[in-house]
Each structure stands twice: as C-alpha cells, then as structure tokens.
Structure 1
Amino acid sequence: MKFRALSLRALLIASTAILSPAFTFAQTDNGTDNTSEATTPEATDSQDLQLNEVVVLGRYIPEVLRSTSEVAAFLAPEDLARQGDSDAAAALARVTGINIAEGRFVYVRGLGERYSAARLNGSPLPSPEPLQRVVPLDLFPTNILENVLVQKTYSVEYPGEFGGGIVDLRTRNIPQESFLELSISGSYNTETTGKDGITYYGSDGDAFGFDDGTRKIPGAIRQAMSTGLRIQPVNFTDAEIQAMGQSFVNAPINLIQSNDSIPMNGSYEATGGTSFDLGGAELGIIGVLGYSNDWRTRNAVQEYGEISGGELIAASQYEYVSTEQNVGWDALFGAGLDFGDDKINWTNLYIRRTTKQAYIRQGYNDLASRDVRSDRTAWYERELYSTQLNGEHFRGPWTLDWRASLAQTKRDAPYEREINYVFSSLTNSYVYDPAGSGSSNSISFSYLDDKIVSGGADIKYVQSLSSARDIEYSAGIEASQNERSAQTRIFSFLVDNPPLDFLIQQQRPDFLFANYNINPDVFVLRETTGAAGAAAYDANLDVFGAYAKVDAEIIPLVRTAIGFRFEDATQSVTPISLIAAEAAPAAPPELSNQYFLPAATLTWNFADDQQLRLGASKSIGRPQFRELAPQQYFDPESSRIFIGNPYLTDTEILNLDARYELYFDRGQALTAGVFFKQLDRPVEAVVVQQSASVFQTYLNAPEAILYGVEVDIKRVFDSPFEGAFFGNKEFLVQANYTYTNSEVKAGPGDVVYPLQSAGQPRPATDYIVDGARLQGQSEHIANLQLGWTDDVARSQLTLLVNYSSERSTARAPAGQPDFMQEPGINMDLVYKKGFDLRGQSFTLDLKAKNLLGEDYEEFQSGSGGYVRVNQYDLGTTLSVGLSTEF
C-alpha cells in the first residue's frame, strides 16, 4: 500500500478548508479568477487533493509498522546495535511476546519453536539440528543482519505453516559508500573463565573449529561398511575385526583431563563494502567475516523422579560437569545491481559452529541400584550455507518480486565416545563396568544433511482511488523442496571371554582401550548400530503454495486486507537399513494434505495517530522430521534420549487478533492487543519410562487453546536536566509485557496414538492432564529497556531486563508432574563510548550479561516433592570490545 507523507502544514490547511467553508468561499469571491483554473487538469487534481487530504490525518507520522496490515515487531539496525546482543536469538528475546528456549529457539506468544518459522531474506531455511526442522537462531550473528521482522499474525503471502510467528532475517544491504569496519572483543564468565573445567586433546585444528583428520572414520571401518555387512564375527575374520578395533583413535579422544584455568572468550570481525557507478546502474558489494572462540563450563545436578508411596521423590541423583569449547565462523558476501526501476541482489551466507564437549556424570542410578559414572567426549560440527538471488522490478503501478534460493545445513558428529563405570568398594573408586551388551562403552558417528531448494514470485498492482488512497492487488506462488538424510553408526568393545580381569577394569581409559587390549582375549569390536531401519532415515517435505490478496482502503480511514492461500504438501520419513541383509521396516504413510487458508485483517484509523487492528486467519503446523522418525537420538543439551513417533499428524490452527496502536513519533508507539488461538491436534513431547529406559517421544494431543494480552510502549525524550553531563542526553524508555494462558484438553472420550501402542488408540488422559499448559508457554513475559544516548559525548548506556515465568518443557511419565523450566529475570547492561586516537575514530563496547546471576533450572514440582531435572549456574559474563571504521 502507498501512503502520502503529508506535511503538518498541509494537514492544517486541509482541515481548515473543511471546517470553515465560508472562509474558502470568501477566497473565491475576493476577486480571484479561478474559472479558467477550474477547467484545467491541474486544478481538478488540486481540488481532489484538498478533499482527500482530510481523511488521512492519522497517517502523518512515518512509521514502518503502520505500512503493514499485520501485527508485527521490527528490530531496526539501531535496536540491534543498542542491545549489544551477539546473535539473533538473544536480540529477539527483547521483542514483545517472545522468549528464547535453550538460548537458540524462538517461542512466540507461548508457542514452542515448532510453531515458528525462520526465513532469510524471504526464503526458507533448513536446520542442522537433529531434533528440529526450524533453524536455531543463535547461528546468526547480529553483525551480518540489517534488520529482523517478526510477524505475529498470519498473512497469505507467507507459507501456511504458521503458529506463533514468522521471523524474517534480513542481511546487510548494499552500501551507499565505501567502508571498512574492524572489531575485536573478549569476555569473562564468572562460572567458566579461569575456573576448573575438563577437556580432551582431540586434534591440532580444534582451536579453529576444524578437525585435522583425527576424527575421520578409520579406513578399515569405512571399507567394511561399504560391504553392507554388519561388523561381527559371522561376516569378518577375527584378524580383520581386531585390525578394525585397533584402527580407532584412542588417547586423544578417550582421555578426559582437568583444566584448572579455562581461557577467556574472544571474537574478531571485519565488515566492508563499496559501490561502483557503472553509468546508468550502480553495483554494490559487501562482505563480512567473523571468528569467535567461547568456553562454557556447567557444574550441574541432574535427578530422575518417580512416585513412591504417593510422593514424588528423586530416585536417581547425579552430579555432572561439562566443558564446551564453541568455535564459530561467519561469512557473508553480497552483490547488488540497481538499475533504478530494476534491482537484483545476490547473497551468499556461510555459518559454521563447532562444539567440543567433555562430560563426566556420576551418582546413584536407581535402575542399577548402585553408584555409576559416565565419561563422554563429543565433537559437533554445524554448517549452514545459503545462496540467494532476489529481484525487484517496478513498472508504473506494477511491481514484480522474485527469489530463488539454495540453502543447505550439515551436522557431523564423529567420535561421540562414552565409557561407563561403576563404584567399587574394593578400590573405593570407579572402575570400568564390563556388564551389559555394548552399553558399557560406545563410539558413534552420526551425520545429518538438510537441504531446501525454493523459489517464488509475487506480483502487485496498485490502483489509485484518490491521491491518498489506493487498492493493492497481489498474487504469488512459492515452491520448496526440503530433503533430509540422517544416519548413525555405533560401535562397541565387548568382552568376548568374561570375566574381565579386575586389574584391567581399573585402567585409565587410554590404557583400557589401547591396542594391546584389543584382541580376542580382552576386547573385541562389535557394530551395535540399530537394526531394522533404526539408525538412518530419509525425509522429504514438498510444498507448493499460491495466494491472492486484496489490500485496500475503500472506505476512508478503514483498511482491509483479505486473502486466501492454497497449499499442497507431502511429507514423508523413510527408515533405511544401513545393513544390506537387514530389511528396513515399512515406511510410515505419507502426510499428504491440501489446505485453503484464509486470512483477513481490518485496520481502522479512528483518530489522529491511532488505529485499531483486527485479524482472523487459519494456519497449520506440521510434525518435524525427527518427531516422525522412529530412531533413538541422545541430546547432549538435555541429556535425554529422544525417539520419534511416525503416527503424528498435522495441527490446524485458528488465529484471532485485536490490537490498539498509538504513535507518538517515528519509532515511538504504545500498543495493546489481545490474541486467541485454537489448536486442533497439537504435537506435545512426553517422557516415557519403559523397562530400564527413560526417553522422550511425541504425540498429538486432542486439542488446545491459547489466549493472552500484549502491551508495549516506547518513548524517546530530551533530557529534563541541565548541565554538562545530562544536558545533551536523549533518554529511552521501552517496556513490554505479555500475559499468556493455555489449556490442553483431554477428556474421557479422547484418544491419542503414542509410539508404544504401534498406532493403536490409547486414552488421552493416560498421557495428558486435562487443563495443563502448552509446552513452552510462559504465563508472564516482560522486557524493560532504560537508557540514554549522548551524541555530543558519543556515548550510549542501556539497561535491559527480561523476565519469563516458568514453562513446561515436556510431559512427565504418567502420574508425575510435568518437567518445568523457570528462566527468571535476566539483567544486562550495555555501554558504548566513541573516542578519537591519533586521528582515527574508535568505539569502546562494555557489556555485562546476567547481572543477577540467574541460573538454569529444569524441575518437577508437586505430589509432595521436588526433583531437579537439570540445574546449573549460568554465571555473569563481562565483555569488552573495540571497533573502528575506515
């Protein structure tokens, strides 16, 4: 839609002309000859302008969110710079109605990450996470972003998979002039930096986030895998199996060592761009390169609960310590051509995150009725690459936008090594546990490849109804193909001739699995990869969508947008057997559906600089690939085993919104809104205890509703004080609050289709408590920003406070209270100061994160007890950075 930015003087003149017709008539009678002018086209247009200016008084203040018919939030470049957040997930935590789970995933209006979609410059993104199809937003550093749009009401130009919101990340634009920015920063965490931690050697390239070949699958193992045979005596000779076992890397991977002084965190960034005048066209290029190296140590408590005598108790209790080294690389290259009426942009993005983890957990295991210990080392490589072409073409009232994208993510986890021990009263220490069939030690190699090819086009035509009002017709198509391939190979060393010598059980892990112990008399290699398709799957999601929309202000001051989207989608997950002789199970049936999704909004400019928005729409949610795949997966974040459920179905969602808006000035507004959602068959995670195992799986709950209220205010004002310090300062006050409530419904006649029943219906009340809240939904979310900017002193100070009340993370086993998490209050302080040194301008950044020392706590509470599912201190992070621009 187009809006005329009329000056205040023009508006006052137009208002006076209407309110004082006698005065206007007198002007005509006072000898001014308007007869000839009235017959000219110019005069006719002038009269039409005077009549129509009257009805656009409410449009005077220019505001980006007023030009959209939807309820949305917008993070401008100045917001990203002021908040001082390093990645998009942290920045979005400041937005009304949004909280962040696990520091990576966006929860919008109480709906989990499955109900939010992320797009890059309008194109969909794949995910490198085994448990999610949505991309984790901590992958995107703020230094590559120009702005972020969060749309909370559904509109038909976006895909139908919409529940909480759409997050559109927009990368930096082509520069208007040449520049080069350099920055360096370091940080200290009170729980990690300079403190005790654990680590292992790994390889020489670990500090740069690249393995030097140490973790590559040994050649002998690769050759055996290529035969399609399981590595076991029936398929290979004892000598061949012994050689394969001795080919695994030992000491650099197995030996966990103490580190009494974990290093500081550091990052380096360079950003540059330039433009060229080609004569009738402008060519611009921009590039970003960043490197970061961060450390994190957790000293945690982990408990597993059960109901005993009607009371919740912690049956198993552990303490664990883990240290992670996270190395990141970010690269962006963009090029654009501007021909005036035609613009073409080419954007290439590469993001790499590597996590090197050492982990030791020990404590009492109720299922084993003894004290146990588990040592684990892991290496996770996550990569995202995206290349996009976008075009904009303007031909009078016509606009054509098109886009084409190839985005691919990969996750490689070689040498996930786990060794289990039991406590021995003879040695008063932990010794290797040889009992069990392969559960005493394991070496796993897992790989995930997720790719999206997408393309779309939108065409718009604007028809003028007057000089200040118009009607916009738009239509478009979009197609995407998402392909995912995942597999895991697992190996273990077994005792072929028990019992194992007790002296060997006491050996250090690098001696325990040294080559001289890899022989038929001590340890023999066995492949324990899951059978019958339990170790690999291929997944596909093909979506075609087409929409039509009309956005018009037919009645002055009342704007309506009405559209329909047709979407056809087919989703499948196919288990694959990695062993040729072992047939995979039959693939679950495809999820193939067609939807007609309507959406309508009405915006009423009922008073100067005030408007009311109403919206209604239907949208859907689809199960994620990993939720459908019947394979087990160990999640290092939660220390839980996950397994999918192939009997999940789509979720259908009804969305209703209303919001009042009052605009004070550009970027300053007061908004208050209410929202309601009805979800048919929402997907919920449940924790199940089966035999000696506890794992997390998924099912479709019968129904859920969600409703809430949002309030947001932002004001900027000049300093009310005088003096050298306060006189030049401009103050910022920004606050928002969201109240959300939800209920999952499970009545006596409702059924669910859990994995354990192999697709047969079970009473919903066996898994879901009627009236329980949706997972991930916090009842209260609040943000506060207080700060000032002093252009004369070149300084800026901002205090940021974020609060989220407790939320459910998973449904507990039957009879137990749900798993809950309480994010609490997080307070940050960001200070920026500009100064000159030897004629060069610099900016000093000082940041303090989590000033109140809030910890991470996942728990169960109820039935007379309290269980700490996962609890550790996050610590306070202090950082200092220096940047300059040439």
Structure 2
Amino acid sequence: SLVQKTYSANFPGEFGGGVINLTTKAIPEESFLEISFSGSGDEQTTFSTGYTYYGSQYDWFGFDDGSRDLGPELQEFFDSGARINDPEVDTKGILLELGNPNRILLQKNDWLPVNMSGGITAGTGFDFGDTGRFGVIATASLSNEWRNRRIISQSAINADLDLDSDFVDFVTDNRILVNGLLGFGLELGEHQFRLTNLFIRDTLKRSGLSLGEDLQDNDTDLIQNTSWFERQLLDTQFVGELEFGALSVDLRGGYAQTQREVPFDWEFTYSRNNNASDIGGLFLNTLDPQRGGAIVSFSDLTEDLYYGGIDLTYEATDWLSATVGYAYTDTNRFSTRREFDIRASTGFPDVFGAFRPDNLLGDALIELGFDPEAQAAAGLDPFEFNIFETTESDPAFEAGLEIHAAYGKLNISPMAGLTLDLGVRYEDATQFVNPVEVFTVPVGSQEDTSTFIANDYFLPGATITYEILPDLQARISASKTIARPQFRELIYQTYYDPESNRQFNGNPSLIDTELTNYEARLEYYMGGGDRISVAGFYKDLENPIEIFSSFSDNDQISGFANAPAATLYGAEVETQVTWDLYDWGGFWETKQFLVIANYTYTQSELKVGPDDVTRVLNRDQPASNFFRDGVALTGQSDHLVNLQLGLEDQETLQQFTVLLSYASERVTSRGAAASLPDIVEDPGVRLDLVYRQGLTAFGIPLELKLEARNITGRDHIEFQDNGTTRIDINTWEVGRSFGVGLSAEF
C-alpha cells in the first residue's frame, strides 16, 4: 500500500488530504499455506457479565438461519402497498409474528467468552511458455468478538446545561467478521493482469439495557434494545497493466455491491413514575406514549457500483512523459426503513405493563386483545392493540451518482534536479436522491426530500519538486479538489450508527464542497530508509459539510448542513530513523532500533457572516442558527502525535514495538441550534505494545504474536462544556486489552 498525500490529476477529484493505493499480490513466488489463530480479551468484557439474546442458532457465524425472515403476514403487508391502518391489514396476524421471544428476550450472560479468530491463506503459481506465469491466492478468516460498554448519556435542556435526561446505557456488542479473498494473477512478458474478488461480512449483534432519569417528567425509564446489523461487501476488480515500449496502458474495471440490513430492531421502554400511585414502584410498559412503548424497525440498503477506467502514459523522452486517462463510476442505492409503534388503548390493564417484553407481546395477550368476550369474562375493561407506522412519509429512497472524468498531465524534468507534475482533471457528475412511493394510495408530497446536483469541474494540480542536494529535496504543490455529500448525508431517513451511539438524518439540500489546497514539503533522505520531512499546508473550503446534533429523550439525533466557508492550515513533521546495534555485541549484535514519528499541528476556522444562509430541508435559514464564526471544523484536533519505537532482529523474526498515539480535543458535532456548546471528544494518549517472535516446531515455521492495547486505560470521552458546567454525552470506559496469536506456514 502507498499513501499519496499530494493531489495529482490522475486521482479522483474527491481528494481531501490523501489517497491510499492498495495493490493485492496475486502471483506468489512459491506455493504456501498459512493457518492462524488468535485470542484476546479486555478488562471491561472478558469473563464479565454482559447481555445477549438468542436470535438464531447460527448467530455465532454471523449469518441468520431464517429466524429473522419476515413472516407471511408482515411480508404480505409490505408487498401489498397498503398502509398499516388500512382495514384490510391483518393487525393481529402481524402482531403474532412480531413477538418471537428469540428476538426480544434479553438475557444476562455471566461469563462473556474470549474473543477468537482464525484464518487460512494459500497460494500457488506456475510458469508456462517462455514468459508466462499464472498465480492464485485465496484467503478466508472468521472472528467473533465481544465488547461491553457502560455509556454515560446525558442531554441538556438549555445553554446552562441543565439536565434534561441522565442515562447509563449498558451495551454488549457481539461482532462477527467473515472475510474471503480470491485473487488471480497473470504475467505475459511485460504485461500483468489481476482479477481480485473480495467478500466481507460484518455482523453486529447488539443487546442493550438503559436506565436513567427523565428529569422534566420526574420519570425513571428502563429501555431495552435488541438489534442485528448485517453489513456485506462483494467486490470484483480487474486490473491490466500493459507495456509497449515507451507506451504504458493501464486498464481497470469492476463491480461492487454493498448491503446493510437491520431486521427486527427492537426497543422496549418501561417507566416508573416515582409517585405513590405506582404499583409497588415497578417499571411498567402500558404501551402508550405516556408510559412505555414497543417500537420495531426494519431497514434494508443495497448499493451497486460499476466502475472502469483507462490510463495511457507515453514517455516521449527521458525528461518528458505525458498521461491521459478516463474514469467512469455509476453508483445506485436503494434504501428502505419502516418503523412501527405498537400501542394499546386506554383500557389496557396496568398490571399487564409489568410483563417482560416476550409476554407483553406474547401470543396469549395478543389473542386477548382481539377477543372482547374473553376480556369481559375476565372482568377487564375493553382494550385493543394498534400499530402505527412512524415512517409513512419517508419509507424508501433511491439515490444515484454518475461521474465521467477525463484528465491529462505532464511530467517534465527541464533541468537536472527539477521535476514538474502538471495536470488538470475534468469531472462531470450527476447526483440525485428521490423518495420512492411504496403505498398504493400516495401519502402526500415528498418534494422537500429530493436532491438533484449536476456539476462539472476543472480540477488542476501542479507539483514542483527540486533536488537541492542529492539527498535533500523541496516540493511545492497547489490544487483544486472537491468533496461531494455522501448518500447518508443526503437521504432524509434515520440511520443509526451503533459505534457512535447516535442517529443520523440526512439533509437533501446539501451541495458540493470545493477545496483549494496548497502544500510545501522539505524531504531529507539519510540512506537505508531513514528520512525526515517537514511540511506546511493550507486549505480553503467553500461550503464544507458539518454535523450538528439535537436531543430527543435519550437519543442524540445528528444532521448535516453546509457551512458558508472555512480555512484550515498547519504543519507536519515526519521521520523514520534506524540505529544498528551491532557494536553493542552479544544479544544486540543482530538488532536494530527503529523510530517512526509523526506530529501534525492543525488550525481551522469556520467563516460565518451575519447575512450568510444555509439550506436545511430545502429551506433557507440563517447560517448562524447552526454555526458560530471562528470555531474549528468538526473532527479536527490541534495536535496529532504518532510514535513507533521498535527493536527488531535483522536475521530472524523478532520484533518488539511500542506504539504511542495522542490526539487533542476535537469537535464531533455542533451544538443544537448553535445555542448549546459543541460536542467534544477527548481522545488523549493511547499506548500499545506488540511483540512478534519466529519459532519452529516439528520443522514448521511459526509466528507468535503478543499484544497489549490501551495500556494507559484511556476511556472514550465525549462531552459538552459551557465553561462552568460539563455533561457527558457519550462516555465509557474502554479498558486495557490483551491478545495472543499463533500462525504456521507450510
């Protein structure tokens, strides 16, 4: 892999600060087989108490056995185009399908297991003809990990940060990751071809129980969540690199499909009113908005990406080469989210509200709710169950982005030590988001949720490199780039991110961000891979996209808006130095000491004038409602430090590495309506230790790997602070983690 920090016209126009170029090896020099296993754990989770629910028998593998498939009544409803309250909808049948205990019964696990992972990689290659070679590499891996988080979630009602709610969310995540790769490589003389097929399935089984105070109503709420997040990527890519003397031809094309499915995402709320009329001080869920609730949602997203391109490079002379190219991408997304609120009428007995979720929506109680005679025989007041869909106005969206790009660039060396890289890229893009009507009888106008962006850009890039001395060079670059809004930032549909523990709603009024970039870099190469570089950079951003947040009950809801403008500037120092310890003799004779360090200083500033406006949901609003002039961009830390200290043997596999990272405070989201303080993350200092040792057993080469992560015990901290009062928004103890792995190569 290679990180390219300077923009060049052959890179995509969406270049914010770097591009990672990953090249997969496809033709091994000799046949091999490698098998690996590892185990790990952390202080907060391993052998500790957590929560889970059954789900299905194959959950450990990251695949559902069909238990989360829609039942026939619910599937018929989705297919019919009816609305949930239409008379022809079988409400009882749907409710009987929803209340499966395996999906909603939260259980305590007193002994969470060790994280485990295993993988196998194999490859072979063979020669044919005079100049041909063919190779195959295949790899597969499976990991199953657990994580406990005790999250402090507070929200404020005003700028004084008086509390509106104060919750502790205990969440147990069971993450299962399945990977597979199959690569083919072909060499024909100077020509190389690669076909890479990648499969990734990332599944998260989430179980949560929250306890907290609604300070405005003086209620104590107990909230249970059970979720199953399936994310899957299938990517096929072809690359051809052809050499015809002075002419090089690079071909690429591929297809990728991304899927995200969250079936039966459940939330049950039980409340205690904290007054004498409560039944024994119990938490009750009477299935009404005032006291409790049962909400279930279903979301499904599929995105298809087709891409291709060609680059032609001609070396006219030893001091001049020219490159032209064309690239095409076509992305299409279809996203649905249906959320249903299950309610009981006013006659619902309070005593039933003490039932646990699987009994509250159990078959017996559902049958009783649709049997007036049985209610009367039991001496109960009449009651019934109803289902309300909260997403009728925005259940489904389609989105697309098509980009045609062409570029040309020259690489010129007009004199010894001087190199010019000059180019321009032209991109023509059309991006859209449209609501999809899923009901036979349309609900109403959805014009405010549509997006259409059609722009073309000329994006120049120029880099001048001058060799001051044989081992010292200076580089100056200038460029224009863009950043398009992502689909999830545009689509007006709730998206829950389990990692950040917050909901996002898109803004269909977002527009592209345009960047002007300048960089100057001085690089000194000391030989043997040792180097040091010093750089300064400046960026001017027009219409940067920023995140802002508001709060509803215990939920943080984040949205997106274009700020008028911003500037960003800073400096970077990077070095890699090794010292040979041969002169120390003995144990140290074959060792070398390695230092890799990077420090980045960054300052940024939003530019917001009194007359500036921003569009949110297709309505112009004063930009000052969302942004404050002079504050830093979201996600930007003033100081970033990465330090790697290593001791390694130059003759055998033996490495000991110390990894130290530090990031100063950074804003993760703007405060609501620009009246509340910004939400700030404090990453702090993190220290990791890694040891690798080569071994041999029964003639088999082995590699032992030991890891100790987050030795400093740094917590995840997000807060709001107005100078006198501080509240925690999303804070939890991370704990130290330890791991051991062993791999064998045959």
TM above 0.5: yes
Supply the distance in 1 between the matched residues of 2:102 and 2:451 (Cα, whole angstroms). 45
CA displacement at 1:149 relative to structure 2: 2.2
Give the 5 Å matches for 1:486-525: 486-495=335-344, 497-518=345-366, 519-520=369-370, 524-525=385-386
Supply the distance in 1 between the matched residues of 2:534 and 2:33 (Cα, whole angstroms). 41
Supply the distance in 1 between the matched residues of 2:495 and 2:194 (Cα, whole angstroms). 40
Gaps spanning 5+ residues in structure 2: where? 371-381
Supply the distance in 2 between the matched residues of 1:168 and 1:451 (Cα, whole angstroms). 22
Supply the distance in 2 between the matched residues of 1:352 and 1:637 (Cα, whole angstroms). 17
- In 1, are the aligned partners of 2:211 and 2:223 still within 8 Å (CA)? yes
CA displacement at 1:526 relative to structure 2: 1.7
Give the 5 Å matches for 1:778-793: 778-792=637-651
Partner residue, 1:658: 520
Supply the distance in 1 between the matched residues of 2:92 and 2:268 (Cα, whole angstroms). 20
1:431 aligns with 2:431: no
Supply the distance in 1 between the matched residues of 2:410 and 2:86 (Cα, whole angstroms). 69
Partner residue, 2:631: 772
1:292 aligns with 2:147: no
Q: For each residue in 1:273-297, what CA deviation from the matched residue of structure 2 results, as whole angstroms up to 9, or x when unmatched?
A: 0101121311111011111000000
Residue 188 of structure 1, aligned match among 31, 41, 49: 41
Give the 5 Å matches for 1:62-461: 148-236=1-89, 240-280=90-130, 281-307=132-158, 311-425=160-274, 426=278, 427-436=280-289, 440-461=293-314
Change (3 A) 1:234 1:432: same
- In 1, are the aligned partners of 2:247 and 2:314 still within 8 Å (CA)? yes
- In 2, are the aligned partners of 1:577 and 1:584 still within 8 Å (CA)? no
Partner residue, 2:456: 594
Q: What is the number of residues matched between the two proteins?
A: 725
Residue 544 of structure 2, aligned match among 682, 706, 722: 682
Supply the distance in 2 between the matched residues of 1:868 and 1:842 (Cα, whole angstroms). 46
* Secondary structure of 1:871's aligned partner: coil
Residue 685 of structure 2, aligned match among 822, 825, 842: 825
CA displacement at 1:753 relative to structure 2: 1.7
Give the 5 Å matches for 1:701-740: 701-719=563-581, 722-740=584-602
For 1:765, give the aligned amino acid: S
- In 2, are the aligned partners of 1:491 and 1:525 still within 8 Å (CA)? no
Partner residue, 1:751: 613
Supply the distance in 1 between the matched residues of 2:651 and 2:495 (Cα, whole angstroms). 56
Partner residue, 1:553: 413
CA displacement at 1:508 relative to structure 2: 1.4
Supply the distance in 2 between the matched residues of 1:618 and 1:424 (Cα, whole angstroms). 58
Change (3 A) 1:556 1:438: farther
Root-mean-square deviation over aligned CA pairs: 1.8
Change (3 A) 1:451 1:517: same
CA displacement at 1:642 relative to structure 2: 2.0
Change (3 A) 1:175 1:710: same
* Secondary structure of 1:870's aligned partner: coil
Supply the distance in 2 between the matched residues of 1:782 and 1:172 (Cα, whole angstroms). 31
Residue 626 of structure 1, aligned match among 482, 488, 505: 488
Supply the distance in 1 between the matched residues of 2:689 and 2:57 (Cα, whole angstroms). 37
Partner residue, 2:400: 540
For 1:299, give the aligned amino acid: R
- In 2, are the aligned partners of 1:657 and 1:675 still within 8 Å (CA)? yes
Question: Which structure has the highest strand share of the two?
Answer: 2
Gaps spanning 5+ residues in structure 1: where? 1-147
Residue 570 of structure 1, aligned match among 417, 430, 438: 430
Q: For each residue in 1:345-377, what CA deviation from the matched residue of structure 2 results, as whole angstroms up to 9, or x when unmatched?
A: 110000111100001111112454421121110
Supply the distance in 1 between the matched residues of 2:735 and 2:721 (Cα, whole angstroms). 24
CA displacement at 1:527 relative to structure 2: 4.5
Change (3 A) 1:173 1:211: same
Change (3 A) 1:658 1:825: same
Supply the distance in 2 between the matched residues of 1:691 and 1:409 (Cα, whole angstroms). 32
* Secondary structure of 2:103's aligned partner: helix
CA displacement at 1:243 relative to structure 2: 1.7
- In 2, are the aligned partners of 1:301 and 1:871 still within 8 Å (CA)? yes
Q: For each residue in 1:383-407, what CA deviation from the matched residue of structure 2 results, as whole angstroms up to 9, or x when unmatched?
A: 0010011101101100000001101
- In 2, are the aligned partners of 1:517 and 1:523 still within 8 Å (CA)? no
1:802 aligns with 2:651: no
Change (3 A) 1:720 1:836: closer
- In 2, are the aligned partners of 1:312 and 1:863 still within 8 Å (CA)? no
Partner residue, 2:715: 855
CA displacement at 1:691 relative to structure 2: 11
Change (3 A) 1:523 1:263: farther
Supply the distance in 1 between the matched residues of 2:41 and 2:226 (Cα, whole angstroms). 24
Q: For each residue in 1:726-752, what CA deviation from the matched residue of structure 2 results, as whole angstroms up to 9, or x when unmatched?
A: 222111111110000000011212222
Residue 702 of structure 2, aligned match among 834, 839, 842: 842
CA displacement at 1:524 relative to structure 2: 2.5
CA displacement at 1:720 relative to structure 2: 6.0
Change (3 A) 1:562 1:439: farther
Change (3 A) 1:768 1:439: farther
Partner residue, 1:30: none
* Secondary structure of 1:432's aligned partner: coil
Supply the distance in 2 between the matched residues of 1:168 and 1:314 (Cα, whole angstroms). 47
Give the 5 Å matches for 1:691-710: 695-710=557-572
Supply the distance in 2 between the matched residues of 1:291 and 1:210 (Cα, whole angstroms). 12
Q: Which moved more, 1:190-199 or 1:857-866?
A: 857-866
Partner residue, 1:881: 741
CA displacement at 1:247 relative to structure 2: 1.7
* Secondary structure of 2:54's aligned partner: coil
- In 1, are the aligned partners of 2:693 and 2:703 still within 8 Å (CA)? yes
* Secondary structure of 2:728's aligned partner: strand
Residue 334 of structure 2, aligned match among 485, 489, 499: 485
- In 2, are the aligned partners of 1:543 and 1:569 still within 8 Å (CA)? yes
For 2:126, give the aligned amino acid: F
- In 2, are the aligned partners of 1:830 and 1:846 still within 8 Å (CA)? yes
Supply the distance in 2 between the matched residues of 1:499 and 1:639 (Cα, whole angstroms). 36
Supply the distance in 2 between the matched residues of 1:404 and 1:882 (Cα, whole angstroms). 37
Supply the distance in 1 between the matched residues of 2:649 and 2:347 (Cα, whole angstroms). 75
- In 2, are the aligned partners of 1:214 and 1:249 still within 8 Å (CA)? no
Q: For each residue in 1:665-703, what CA deviation from the matched residue of structure 2 results, as whole angstroms up to 9, or x when unmatched?
A: 243210000000000010111124689986321111010
Supply the distance in 2 between the matched residues of 1:475 and 1:438 (Cα, whole angstroms). 65
Change (3 A) 1:440 1:718: same
Supply the distance in 2 between the matched residues of 1:523 and 1:739 (Cα, whole angstroms). 62
Supply the distance in 1 between the matched residues of 2:561 and 2:675 (Cα, whole angstroms). 17
CA displacement at 1:458 relative to structure 2: 0.1
Give the 5 Å matches for 1:8-23: none
Partner residue, 2:378: none
